[in-house]
């Protein structure tokens, strides 16, 4: 696996966009207890060009704040807000598509300078995004390769999967390679990650013998699903998960199996880094949630001044036993 490149910050997002099909129950006015407002103190001269923007009021329509990547993205927004005298409003959809739409539409009425969005179901946001454009409210959309928002922060999703297949083939050189896959909801960025692993499997001689769609993303679910897959496929020696939480659970399941099994996922929160250090997870790919938050703020600042920012694709950063010590927790990162 390649070493971490400079300027990459560990974190999101396959954003574990779990339970996309849970489309029930709209909410009214944004979010009540699931909302958080962070108003930063304004200090003279506190704006920092490295944060990429002025004192903006920014919204984040999150798919779920239980995900480490979403938490890191919000933390990056709040870091820039504190430096620039801005503010952040976070709405937690709790993996409910209808609620996320309601949250986004509510934000359009709250006199925000811009909104960031990681859509559970991008197709459902055509109307809300059109309304935002009509109301001249800048929007930065995350990790949707087909997105049409004025600002786009993208993942190199296919490369995550390709690199994982390559790393697995190198770790098990000379062995017959058989894999199972923990897939997820039909969300564009997840589909791209899985397609990348499938492409890499073809290239590096890995037979994918089974897969399952995880409707939610936790270590317990990852462990349970992996145990089921391994029970039916005892000769498997590779597990690939679209998400880091599932990968941690898969790694725990693999420890109880006979023979060597390597486990790879996508996401680099502290829990996953700990799992790599302990040997539970073989490797993971940083989805760049924290850096995405900083970049999204920069784009909103540019859009608010009439600019047209080009789409930005995050670099690929991998962590394994060779470079896990290079990872930094959010508390040690700047903005």
Q: What is the mean pLDDT of residues 252-262?
A: 93
What pTM does this model have? 0.77
Residue with tokens 């055509």: 126
Q: Does residue 21 contact residue 218 with C-beta atoms inside 8 Å?
A: no
* Distance from C-alpha of 188 to C-alpha of 233, rounded to nearest angstrom: 28
Burial 260-286 (b: 16+ CB within 10 A, else e): ebbbbbbbbbeebbebbeeebbbbbbb
pLDDT tens, residue by residue, 47-91: 333 445 569 999 999 999 988 889 999 999 999 999 999 999 999
Q: Does residue 158 contact residue 242 with C-beta atoms inside 8 Å?
A: no
Q: Where are the domains of the chain?
A: 32-155+288-317, 157-286
Closest CA to 73 of 140, 126, 163: 140
305 has pLDDT over 60: yes
- State both tokens at 152: 């786009």
- Domain 32-155+288-317, architecture per CATH: 3-Layer(aba) Sandwich (3.40)
Helix 244-255, helix 270-278: angle, nearest 10: 20
Residue with tokens 């297949």: 165
C-alpha dist (Å) from residue 266 to 32, 81, 162: 31, 28, 12
Length of the chain: 335
Give percent above pLDDT 70 in the chain.
84
321 has pLDDT over 50: yes
pLDDT band, very low/low/confident/very high, at 124 (cuts 50, 70, 90): very high
Query: Beta strand pairing status for 262-266 and 283-286?
Result: parallel
Q: How high is the pLDDT of residue 4?
A: 34
* Domains 32-155+288-317 and 157-286 belong to one CATH topology: yes
CATH topology of domain 157-286: Rossmann fold (3.40.50)
Torsions phi, psi for 38 (to 5 deg): -120, 105
Q: What is the mean pLDDT of residues 87-99?
A: 96
């Amino acid at each position: 696996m390649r070493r971490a490149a400079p300027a990459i910050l560990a974190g999101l997002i396959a954003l574990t966009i779990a339970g996309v099909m849970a489309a029930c129950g709209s909410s009214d006015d944004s979010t009540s207890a699931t909302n958080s407002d962070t108003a930063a103190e304004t200090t003279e001269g506190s704006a920092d060009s490295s944060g990429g923007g002025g004192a903006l009021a920014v919204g984040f329509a999150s798919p779920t704040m239980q995900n480490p990547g979403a938490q890191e993205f919000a933390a990056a927004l709040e870091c820039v807000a504190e430096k620039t005298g801005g503010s952040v409003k976070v709405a937690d959809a709790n993996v409910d598509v209808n609620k996320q739409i309601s949250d986004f539409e509510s934000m359009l009425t709250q006199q925000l300078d811009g909104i960031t969005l990681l859509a559970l179901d991008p197709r459902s946001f055509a109307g809300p995004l059109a309304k935002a454009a009509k109301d001249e409210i800048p929007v930065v959309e995350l990790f949707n390769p087909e997105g049409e928002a004025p600002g786009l922060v993208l993942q190199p999703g296919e490369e995550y999967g390709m690199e994982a297949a390559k790393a697995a083939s190198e770790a098990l050189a000379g062995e017959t390679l058989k894999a199972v896959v923990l897939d997820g909801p039909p969300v564009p960025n997840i589909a791209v990650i899985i397609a990348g692993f499938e492409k890499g499997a073809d290239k590096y001689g890995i037979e994918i013998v089974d897969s399952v769609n995880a409707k939610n993303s936790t270590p317990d679910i990852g462990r349970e699903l992996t145990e089921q897959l391994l029970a039916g496929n005892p000769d498997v020696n590779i597990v690939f998960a679209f998400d880091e939480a599932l990968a941690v659970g898969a790694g725990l399941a693999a420890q109880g199996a006979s023979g060597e099994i390597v486990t790879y996922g996508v996401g680099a929160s502290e829990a996953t880094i700990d799992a790599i250090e302990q040997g539970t997870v073989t490797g993971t790919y940083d989805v760049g949630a924290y850096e995405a938050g900083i970049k999204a703020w920069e784009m909103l600042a540019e859009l608010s001044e009439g600019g047209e920012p080009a789409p930005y694709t995050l670099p690929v950063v991998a962590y394994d036993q060779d470079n896990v010590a290079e990872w930094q927790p959010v508390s040690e990162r700047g903005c």
